[in-house]
Amino acid sequence: MVVPHSISRERLSDFLIEPCEHLDFEIKNWLDIQNDNDAKVTFAKAALALANHGGGFVVFGLTEIDAKFVEASGRPSNLSAYSQDAINGIVQAYAEPAFHCEVHIIHDPSGTEYPIVVIPGGHRVPIRAKRSGPHGKTIEQNAIYVRKPGPKSEVPTTAQEWDSLLARCLSNRRDEMLEHIRTIMAGAVPQAEASSLPSRLDAWIAACKARWQALAGDLPPDAPPRCPRGYHWFAYEIDGVKRPTQSAKFTELLQRSVVRHTGWPPFWYPTRSELAPYPMDGSVECWLGGEEKGAFSDTAHSDFWRISPEGFAFLLRGYQEDGADLRHENGTIANRGTLFDVSFPIWRAAEVLLHAESLARNLFEGPATIELVAHYSGLTGRELTSLGGNLIVWPGQTARQGEITVRTRVEVSAIATNLPEIVQPLLAPLYTLFNFHELPMSAVTAQIARLRSG
């Protein structure tokens, strides 16, 4: 079984009606995973074995008496020790590659609460132990554990046990490859399952927008860095298992994460002292449109961005079309704020997704997902055009709606392979505003190929 994330609480509660152990369901008593290293290793061994089994569940707080599972003695005063961060901290310490678990506090039929950990499956390689347990007990470094009848978690010792493990990993690889091919042929975006929790990303966006408005509010009302004719912003959240990262090393990580396919990449990290990013509210912030010496005075380059060590990012930028005097395709000079280039949004969205992939690779371990939100404002009266002349755009395709927000959620592993298939459905609603303009997949594929070619 490949256990899905965001599994329904109703299904989890079913496990507590008449709990019993089996190959994909492990029962533990009230292990002190907060203070007892032996308890941490006991859980880690079960988690590694379940991951190699194809996924499963671990419930804490039960013990077997007279062939029946009942509540174990020693219930803690609260269940905060079984937090998702604590569980994933143990997994990260002992699993290679690491994987992300979900933790749910579930009521049994009598209303008593128990923590249930959801262990994901679907791994493309066997999960091994990164390190040994205390005094070399319970877990051995580099050992691989599987589930065996009993049930119990042990090292595979027979050819059949090894064959089952390797066959499962190869099957996961085959399924992933076929899904990529299927997605490309169908032209569909590989969507990740949306979380049922309140959106932390929306709160992050609101805080970043308020911060930009406070900074830009110090400038004259018509100052180009305030983007008076409109702007667009991108925000994303990476959901996965974080690597241990020292605060002092975070800025180096951000510099390594910049993806340079164009001369002005998103989340550009300037090193000049007057423009260099700075710490702000636990994040790293950069404002290129202020009044400091060396700041940019045009709309197209007055970026504002923020990145949090928790995997949140936000970038606001004015339209490149508003940064200089441009000409219509017939040669006449266009007023600023009246044109909207057909290819720029494709390039910008692709660049941001590639940056998210790069940051996820540097900041997180194992599989992760990206939730991306993009917003475009100041669209009313803009006419769709092709400034480079490499895409056909019929004249008169003008937007009457002022703004739009689009959103997607994808697996990080799908970005490199399926970038056009992600970008096209993400941006299609934006282009529809311009007199029902259709964004063909062939155009997106061609533009992203040009982007990647430099």
Asked if residue 4 belongs to a domain, the reply is no
Asked if residue 335 belongs to a domain, the reply is yes
320-328 contacts at long range (C-beta below 8 A, 24 or more positions apart): 320/344, 321/382, 321/387, 322/224, 322/227, 322/229, 322/230, 323/224, 323/298, 323/299, 324/298, 324/300, 326/387, 328/385
127 and 247 part of one domain: no
At residue 10, the pLDDT reads 62
Give the integer Cα–Cα distance in Å for 193 and 212.
Answer: 31
171 and 273 part of one domain: no
pLDDT digits (tens, 9 = 90+) for 275-294: 899 999 999 999 998 777 77
Give SS3 for 218: coil
The domain boundary, picked from 139, 162, 185, lies at: 185
Q: Which two tokens stand for residue 207?
A: 């805080």
237 and 364 part of one domain: yes
Does residue 330 have a pLDDT over 70? no
226 and 106 part of one domain: no
State which amino acid sits at residue 386: S
Asked if residue 421 belongs to a domain, the reply is yes
pLDDT digits (tens, 9 = 90+) for 129-165: 999 998 888 999 999 999 998 889 999 999 989 988 8
At residue 290, the pLDDT reads 79
Give the integer Cα–Cα distance in Å for 139 and 42.
Answer: 8
Does residue 183 have a pLDDT over 90? no
408 and 319 part of one domain: yes
180 and 263 part of one domain: no
238 and 97 part of one domain: no
Does residue 184 have a pLDDT over 60? no
The domain boundary, picked from 185, 215, 242, lies at: 185
When mean pLDDT is compared across 8-17, 177-186, 194-203, the lowest value belongs to 177-186
Name the more confident of 454 and 96: 96
213 and 157 part of one domain: no
At residue 22, the pLDDT reads 84
Per-residue pLDDT band at 189 (split at 50, 70, 90): low
Per-residue pLDDT band at 5 (split at 50, 70, 90): very low
403 and 357 part of one domain: yes
- Domain extent, residue 360, equals 200-453
Give the integer Cα–Cα distance in Å for 73 and 59.
Answer: 15
Tell me, rounded to whole angstroms, the distance of Cα 201 from its chain centroid.
11
Does residue 254 have a pLDDT over 80? yes
168 and 48 part of one domain: yes
Characterize the bridge pairing of strands 383-385 and 364-376: unpaired
Does residue 121 have a pLDDT over 90? no
Helix ranges restricted to H, 364-411: none
The enclosing domain of 17 has a CATH number of: 3.30.950.30
At residue 235, the pLDDT reads 98
Q: Which two tokens stand for residue 415?
A: 């970005």
Q: Which two tokens stand for residue 391?
A: 């895409």
The domain boundary, picked from 161, 185, 209, lies at: 185
Asked if residue 191 belongs to a domain, the reply is no
Q: What are φ and ψ of residue 369, in 5° steps?
A: -120, 155
Helix ranges restricted to H, 287-406: 344-363
In this structure, the number of other CB atoms found within 10 A of the CB of residue 264 comes to 13
Name the more confident of 247 and 334: 247
61 and 89 part of one domain: yes
Provide the number of structural domains found in the chain. 2
111 and 152 part of one domain: yes
Asked if residue 192 belongs to a domain, the reply is no
Asked if residue 1 belongs to a domain, the reply is no
Does residue 206 have a pLDDT over 90? yes
Query: Is-contact 380 401, C-beta < 8 A?
Result: yes
Q: What are φ and ψ of residue 346, in 5° steps?
A: -65, -45
Does residue 195 have a pLDDT over 60? no
Does residue 109 have a pLDDT over 90? no
Asked if residue 135 belongs to a domain, the reply is yes
Give the integer Cα–Cα distance in Å for 273 and 263.
Answer: 20
Per-residue pLDDT band at 176 (split at 50, 70, 90): low
- Please indicate, yes or no, whether the overall pTM of this predicted structure exceeds 0.75: no
